[in-house]
Amino acid sequence: MIYNLNLDKEYCSGGTRRSRVSAGELPDIPKQALHVSARAANTPLKKLPSPRAVRSRTRIRETHAMQKRCPRCGALNESTADDKLSLCRDCESQSSALANDLVDAAICDLIAELEPRKNDEQTAQDRIRRGIALVGEGKLDEAIVQFDLALENDPCSARAYNSRGYAFVLKREHDRAVEDFDRAIELDPDLAPALVNRGCVHMHQEAYDAALGDFNRALRINDRIPLAYVNRGFVLAAQGHYDAAIADFDRAIQLDPSLANAYQNRAVANIARGEFDRAIEEFTAAIRQQPSYPLAYYGRGFAHMAQGNYAEALSDFGQAVEQDPTLADAWFLRADVARVRGEHQQAIADHSEALRHNPEFRLAYHHRAEIYCELGALDEAIADYSSLIQLQPDMPDAYNHRGQAYAAAGIHALAQTDFDTAIRLDPNHGPALRGQAIVHQAMHHVDEAKAERAAARRLGLDVAEPSD
């Protein structure tokens, strides 16, 4: 296990704030900016096509018309430098007051037209923040309701789509999450957090090329997103490009030295390169940043086990399962270490825990069956091999091992059937040919036994001749 899907909650809210205004978001408009001069009042307002706005502009135009004719007596007046309003002197004071009243009324209409939109967007942002808080509390369904309401207020909010997509990811509804991330990116192609989140889903689905494309695009927009480097490094490691992966993990740690999973993933990449000492250092750094990190303990235990440091490995596997009792891999490796140390009952108990948490853990059935055979508990071994065959019916090794257990128990007919099946699945399966020869000899099928011994020798296997 290299890396678990990690969608950082920071990106749920839209991530790093951009200098420009994204789709569906309007900046706050200072009230003084709404004071309209006589000239600016005639400028068309493209965002206000409503009847109220039309009436507002009409009233402002009427105001300008009154500046050419006295509003009280209707007399035309020539404009002068000293008399900008072009009013007759007798009515100047009354006309100025009337014009000011008309302009103020128009301004009030404009403010009233802008205010509902501003309120809707503010409501949408409040609901997004409320939804993000609910995500943090694990109340995903309630959070999604808030994001839905935010989109009713502001259907063009890329941030709301990104946030709802993140909640769908946590619910394991990946198709719906991708739909929301797609829409967020369509509304705002520069929304790097949505690209990172969509890439995480692709990564989880092992669509590595698509994930790599999203992470590359996000980093072209903003090259200071640590999570993008961690995730791209994971994809590169999964594709076998360990040096490039380590470079990405290095960059992530440079940007955020507290990012525990960057150390964890860099350690796994070093294990793939056979550098176990360096891997142990990296796992230790991950644990230092995040003491409750079962995957890091599991990984460090694996590195210790590979170097033969069994006591340290047991300690780390113990920490891993204490922090996460459902971590079947840690139970499995702890069982293998116990088996190497001759602690067979402990090994059986640990394999049983691994299978309790992962009933389809085929290797755990196989290893526990081998321990049962070593202890002479053939019925238990046969039961485990039968479970393995049920999970993987086309596995010749499983039939061969169960055949060996049947043969050891003296149940030659069933052993013969299992060896036959193993050879049918793999005609060159040497151990099954040898086992078949031994069973035929025990059943006094002399000719068949000779033929199978000859076939086994052709595969380079030593088969003892039967004693008289």
Q: Which domains does the chain have, with CATH numbers?
A: 1-6+156-256 (1.25.40.10), 25-153 (no CATH), 272-352 (1.25.40.10), 360-468 (1.25.40.10)
Cα 395 from Cα 287, distance rounded (Å): 39
Q: What is the rounded radius of gyration, in angstroms, for the C-alpha atoms of the chain?
A: 38
Considering the chain, what is the average pLDDT of its residues? 79
- Count of other CB atoms within 10 angstroms of residue 38: 14
Cα 276 from Cα 264, distance rounded (Å): 13
Measured CA distances, 126 to 10, 82, 142 (Å): 16, 52, 14
DSSP-assigned letter for residue 289: H
pLDDT in tens, 195-241: 999 999 999 999 999 999 999 999 999 999 999 999 999 999 999 99
What pLDDT sits at residue 234?
Answer: 95
Of the pLDDT bands very low, low, confident and very high (cuts 50, 70, 90), residue 159 is very high
What pLDDT sits at residue 439?
Answer: 78
pLDDT in tens, 101-123: 555 555 555 555 555 555 566 78
Residue 258 has pLDDT above 50, yes or no: yes
Cα 82 from Cα 176, distance rounded (Å): 68
What pLDDT sits at residue 209?
Answer: 96
What pLDDT sits at residue 438?
Answer: 80
Instruction: Characterize 245-262 residue by residue with b for buried, 16 or more Cβ atoms within 10 angstroms of its Cβ, and e for exposed.
Output: bbbbbebbbebbeebbbb
375: left (phi over 0), alpha (psi -120 to 50) or beta: alpha
Q: What percent of the chain has pLDDT over 70?
A: 68
Residue 377 has pLDDT above 90, yes or no: yes
Give the global pTM: 0.70
Q: What does the pLDDT average to over 268-281?
A: 96
Which of the residue ranges 87-96, 151-160, 204-213, 307-316 would you say has the lowest mean pLDDT? Answer: 87-96
- Count of other CB atoms within 10 angstroms of residue 71: 21
- Among 131, 107, 135, smallest CA distance to 48 is for 107
DSSP string, 413-451: HHHHHHHHHHHHH-TT-HHHHHHHHHHHHHTT-HHHHHH
Q: What does the pLDDT average to over 421-436?
A: 89
